[in-house]
Amino acid sequence: MEAYRELVSEIQRDVERLRVEFGGVPCPTNCFSCCQNTATMAISEVEAQDLKIGLERLPAQLRTHIRRKAERTIKKLEAHGYSAENIIPDAGMKAIGVIKGTPEGECPMLIAGVCAVYEHRPVICRVWGYPIHNGNELACCHKTFIGKRRQYRPLNYTRYWNECKRLSSELGVEKKTPNCYLVLRLLSE
Ligand code: SF4
Ligand code: SF4
Assess if residue 150 is contained within a domain. yes
Strands 137-139 and 114-115: unpaired
CB-neighbour burial class of residue 62 (10 A; exposed 0-12, middle 13-18, buried 19+): middle
Q: Which atom of ligand 2 is nearest to the CA of 28?
A: 7
Separation of alpha carbons 95 and 88, rounded Å: 9
Query: How many domains does the chain contain in total?
Result: 1
Instruction: Provide the percentage of residues in the chain whose pLDDT is more than 90.
Output: 92
Assess if residue 120 is contained within a domain. yes
Assess if residue 27 is contained within a domain. no
**Buried residues in 149-169 as b, exposed as e (16+ CB within 10 A):** eeebebbbbeebbebbeebbe
Q: Which atom of ligand 2 is nearest to the CA of 144?
A: 7
Ligand 1 binding pocket, CB closer than 6 Å: 35, 38, 107, 109-110, 115, 117, 121-122, 125
Identify the CA nearest to 45 among candidates 163, 147, 135, 134.
163
SS3 content of the chain, % helix, strand, coil (to 5): 55, 10, 35
Grade residue 90 by pLDDT with cuts at 50, 70 and 90. Answer: confident
| Distance in Å, CA 115 to ligand 1 centroid | 5
Assess if residue 117 is contained within a domain. yes
What pLDDT is recorded for position 92?
Answer: 83
| Inter-residue contact 33 to 115 (CB < 8 Å) | no
The answer to whether the predicted template modeling score (pTM) of the entire model surpasses 0.85 is: yes
What domain range includes position 124?
A: 2-21+35-188
Of 136 and 26, which is predicted with more confidence? 26
Cβ 37 under 6 angstroms from ligand 2: no
Closest ligand relative to 145 C-alpha: 2
Assess if residue 26 is contained within a domain. no
| Inter-residue contact 160 to 168 (CB < 8 Å) | no
Q: What is the pLDDT of residues 130-178, one digit of tens each?
A: 999 988 789 999 999 999 999 999 999 999 999 999 999 999 999 999 9
